[in-house]
Amino acid sequence: MMIDGRRGGLEAIRKRTPRYDVRMSDSIFSKIIRGEIPAQRVYEDDAVIAIMDINPLAEGHCLVIPKEPAETMADLSDAAAAAVGRVLPRIVRAVQKVTGVGACHVLQNNGPEAGQEVMHVHFHVIPKPQGGGLSAAWNPMTVEPERIADTGRKIARLV
């Protein structure tokens, strides 16, 4: 399956994607996928590439990118998501072996408000060495259990 836009272009991808409001991008990552700009590739198959991040948060910071140019996770097809999911554990294991750091984050930002700068779905694999790597605040809210359950039921109806 060819899903990076080289054959048929973005319009063809939109037509065969089983959602009617998907957003497809032509970002810096599409240019890397097409080989128009260089990147240090660590993995590639028909549906996925993984590259070294040019501004790493830690040594070994990689990006795992579906070739399908969906802007966010909500736009990604099941097939492209499955392809990325198959590759991620392999990248994590390789990064851990090379860096010698056993802890890592697999991070995926959706939307500028969530820190997404490149509007093409990608997963960060970021080693967490002692005193380095990603620092993010985790501020849990206190929410009534019934409200959590109610929201969960609403989400479940739409999945």
Spatial distance between the Cα atoms of 143 and 152, rounded to a whole number of angstroms = 13
Spatial distance between the Cα atoms of 17 and 146, rounded to a whole number of angstroms = 37
Q: Pick from 117, 131, 154, 156 the residue near ligand 5GP by CB under 6 A.
A: 117
Residue 59's Cβ-count burial label (10 Å; 0-12, 13-18, 19+) is middle
C-beta of 53: minimal distance to ligand 5GP in Å? 5
What tokens were used for 142? 């206190």
Catalytic status, residue 122: yes
One-letter amino acid for residue 96 of the chain: Q
Of residues 113 and 144, the one with the C-beta less far from ligand 5GP: 113
Q: Pick from 14, 94, 116, 128 the residue near ligand 5GP by CB under 6 A.
A: 116
C-beta of 1: minimal distance to ligand 5GP in Å? 24
Which residue has 């408000």 as its token pair? 113
Spatial distance between the Cα atoms of 54 and 28, rounded to a whole number of angstroms = 12
Q: Pick from 10, 12, 54, 106 the residue near ligand 5GP by CB under 6 A.
A: 54
Stretch of 14-22, 51-59, 64-72, 136-144 contacting ligand 5GP, by CB under 6 A: 51-59
Helix (H) or strand (E) holding 65: strand 62-66
Residue 136's Cβ-count burial label (10 Å; 0-12, 13-18, 19+) is exposed
Q: Pick from 15, 55, 136, 141 the residue near ligand 5GP by CB under 6 A.
A: 55
Kindly identify the residues of this chain, within the stretch 23-42, that bind ligand 5GP according to CB under 6 A.
28, 39
Q: Interface with ligand 5GP by CB under 6 A: which residues?
A: 28, 39, 51-55, 63, 109, 115-118
